[in-house]
Amino acid sequence: MRSLPVLLLAFFAVHNVQTARILGLFPHSGKSHQMVFDPLLRTLAERGHDVTVVSFFPIKDPPANYTIVSLEGIATLGLETIDLSYFDSPNKVLKVLGIEKILKQITEFQPLADLALGICSKIVEFNPLADVLKKSYDVLLVENFNSDCMLGLAHVYGLKAPYISLSSSALMQWSPDRIGVTDNPSYVPIMSSDFTSKMNFFQRLENTVMNVYYKIWYRYAIQLKEKAIIEKRFGRRIPDLQEFAKNVSLALVNTFHSMNGVRPLLPGLIEVGGMHLDHTRKPIPHYMERFLNESEHGVVLFSWGSLIKTASIPKYKEDIIVNALSKLKQRVIWKYEDSDEEGTLTGNILKVKWIPQYELLQHPKVIAFIGHGGLLGMTEAVSAGKPMLIVPFYGDQPLNGAAAAAVGLGKAISYADMSEKTLLEGLQSVLSAEMRISARRASKIWHDRLADPLDTAVYWVERVIRWGDQDPLHSTARDLTFIEHNLLDVAAVILLAVIVLILVLRIVLYQILRVLGASMSKKEKLH
């Protein structure tokens, strides 16, 4: 029989978890990121926790015990803001030199620094945030993307609680070191590449250079500058933000190996890809449903997500797309902002302002998806078992596209080089019977897990609340220096030992030969 103290302890552990105080800090202004986290935050509140959420996108109808601190108005929001003409002019000279893709990645990341620093310099002055940071919590949930400003602020206000990082994508390049998981560039592709884990020599070379570049870039372009912003505002020195970053207890990432590719994991690095999927079905508008019902050969759903402004597409590119799509026997629903209330129908293409994307993907008449490789849309398509044609633009989209193609979920084609021919060939391959079967199988594998991803995320958050520091989930690799981590000191000693050994052997051999030589010439003299 268990003793009373143990029972009491167990009671308090469980009791504590039931009423934990949780603070979520989400300083990024892209809506798709927040869409990944909201279901977890809502579920934690519904389970009786006291949840406070600081975000640019406050949820509507929050449950009880869910406090919102809105960052709205601090920065412009990322919604239908990306102009497609930006992706239209790949530089021919750079392309010949083979560095066009690298420069594209580098220039693409710069705005993330401007965004992070802009937001950081606003939130250090934001009183509603200061008010919540002064309270105490059992755990912090912090988005891990392009900023560590919140971690520095939490320190300034004396907030002491284990922290969990949330990623709406695979880990950013600067994140593996925080939890001590390997990101060896010989087989872990960086997140802005279009590589898979099997790379040839030149890909490994690029992957290695970019792996190192991003870490240095993040440190100097963001982390040290955020530290300076906080120190200037509060008029005192604070520890290196990387020290706080490396204190992460658990990292939740929005991936799952069967879609995103197999990568090294740790007990504290948990894949929860699919946790944002909404299991309550929203209705499909009547006119869209009729369009689906009346299609003879099925419908292809076409959406480039919430950030890209589809209507900014250059005329010649739109012609390429329309020409290719109109050659299909299937119908097409295209998310396109500039369309009529009930959609604009041209031939087999229905342009609509807004789509209930996941509901449509689950509709039996929808047989394929044209997307941009954003992780949310891809997750919905894999969950619904529909093959995809991916036209990646920026960020992790090329990587997602390459991973999906590698596991038989679809195909990826280039936007810059897109022609009627490449688009049509891509569509035909995605619409083929083999690809549709392969996508259904990939979907079954993706769904086959011990627990639903949202339940998994809730379990791990509560586990950190229960045990905190007493149950470390990271690897101590994060505490090693570069030299120790890569065993350069050990390699140096072994190399030295080998050299010494060779030298000693040489001397010994030389002496033996000399003695032998001497005794031989002695014998010769005797004769």
Ligand X SMILES: *[C@@H]1O[C@H](CO)[C@@H](O)[C@H](O)[C@H]1NC(C)=O
Q: Determine if 48 is a binding residue for ligand X (CB under 6 A).
A: yes
- The dihedral sign for the CA sequence 150, 155, 160, 165: positive
Q: Radius of gyration (Cα) for the chain, nearest Å?
A: 28
Q: List beta partners, residue 371.
A: 390
Q: Report the site for ligand X in 155-174 (rule: CB under 6 A).
A: 160, 162
Helices and strands in the chain, H and E counts: 21, 16
Q: Tell me which of 247, 312, 429, 438 binds ligand X, using CB under 6 A.
A: 247
| The pairing of beta strand 349-352 with beta strand 344-346 | antiparallel
Kindly tell me which of 160 and 315 has the beta carbon lying closer to ligand X.
160
Q: Determine if 78 is a binding residue for ligand X (CB under 6 A).
A: no
Q: Tell me which of 35, 50, 102, 266 binds ligand X, using CB under 6 A.
A: 50
C-alpha span between 241 and 456 (Å, rounded): 29
Stretch that binds ligand X, among 180-188, 283-291, 336-344, 425-433 (CB under 6 A): 283-291
C-alpha span between 510 and 518 (Å, rounded): 12
What's the closest the beta carbon of residue 292 comes to ligand X, in angstroms? 7
Q: Determine if 244 is a binding residue for ligand X (CB under 6 A).
A: yes
Stretch that binds ligand X, among 100-108, 225-233, 286-294, 488-496 (CB under 6 A): 286-294
Whose CA is closest to 408, among 240, 259, 239, 512?
A: 259
Kindly tell me which of 118 and 468 has the beta carbon lying closer to ligand X.
468
Query: Under 8 Å CB-to-CB from 105, ≥6 apart: which residues?
Result: 192, 193, 210
Q: Determine if 19 is a binding residue for ligand X (CB under 6 A).
A: yes
Per the CB < 8 A criterion, the answer to whether 151 and 245 are in contact is yes
Kindly tell me which of 282 and 290 has the beta carbon lying closer to ligand X.
290
C-alpha span between 43 and 24 (Å, rounded): 13
Q: Determine if 420 is a binding residue for ligand X (CB under 6 A).
A: no
- E strands along 254-352, which residues? 269-271, 299-302, 308-309, 331-335, 344-346, 349-352
Q: Tell me which of 17, 35, 62, 65 binds ligand X, using CB under 6 A.
A: 65
What's the closest the beta carbon of residue 297 comes to ligand X, in angstroms? 16
What's the closest the beta carbon of residue 96 comes to ligand X, in angstroms? 49
Kindly tell me which of 2 and 160 has the beta carbon lying closer to ligand X.
160
Query: Under 8 Å CB-to-CB from 136, ≥6 apart: which residues?
Result: 21, 159, 160, 161
What's the closest the beta carbon of residue 171 comes to ligand X, in angstroms? 20
Q: Tell me which of 131, 243, 340, 434 binds ligand X, using CB under 6 A.
A: 243
C-alpha span between 347 and 160 (Å, rounded): 61
Kindly tell me which of 73 and 283 has the beta carbon lying closer to ligand X.
283
Q: Determine if 61 is a binding residue for ligand X (CB under 6 A).
A: no
Q: Among the residues of 20-171, which ranges form H helices? A: 31-46, 92-97, 100-123, 127-133, 149-156
Full DSSP string of 426-476: HHHHHHSHHHHHHHHHHHHHHH--SS-HHHHHHHHHHHHHHHGGGS--S-G
What's the closest the beta carbon of residue 229 comes to ligand X, in angstroms? 19
What's the closest the beta carbon of residue 85 comes to ligand X, in angstroms? 37
Q: Determine if 296 is a binding residue for ligand X (CB under 6 A).
A: no
Q: List beta partners, residue 253.
A: 167, 271
Tokens representing residue 289 in the block: 């449903």
What's the closest the beta carbon of residue 326 comes to ligand X, in angstroms? 24
What's the closest the beta carbon of residue 302 comes to ligand X, in angstroms? 21
Residue count of the chain: 527
At position 210, the amino acid (one-letter code) is M
Per the listing, tokens 């280039």 go with 414
Q: Report the site for ligand X in 423-482 (rule: CB under 6 A).
A: 468-469
C-alpha span between 312 and 374 (Å, rounded): 19
Q: How many residues bind ligand X (CB under 6 A)?
A: 16
Stretch that binds ligand X, among 209-217, 282-290, 439-447, 473-481 (CB under 6 A): 282-290
Kindly tell me which of 101 and 463 has the beta carbon lying closer to ligand X.
463
C-alpha span between 144 and 218 (Å, rounded): 12
Q: Determine if 286 is a binding residue for ligand X (CB under 6 A).
A: yes
Whose CA is closest to 478, among 174, 208, 168?
A: 174
Kindly tell me which of 33 and 227 has the beta carbon lying closer to ligand X.
227
Q: Tell me which of 3, 4, 60, 64 binds ligand X, using CB under 6 A.
A: 64
Q: Determine if 184 is a binding residue for ligand X (CB under 6 A).
A: no
What's the closest the beta carbon of residue 101 comes to ligand X, in angstroms? 38
Binding footprint of ligand X on the chain (CB under 6 A): 19, 48, 50, 64-65, 160, 162, 243-244, 247, 286, 289-290, 293, 468-469
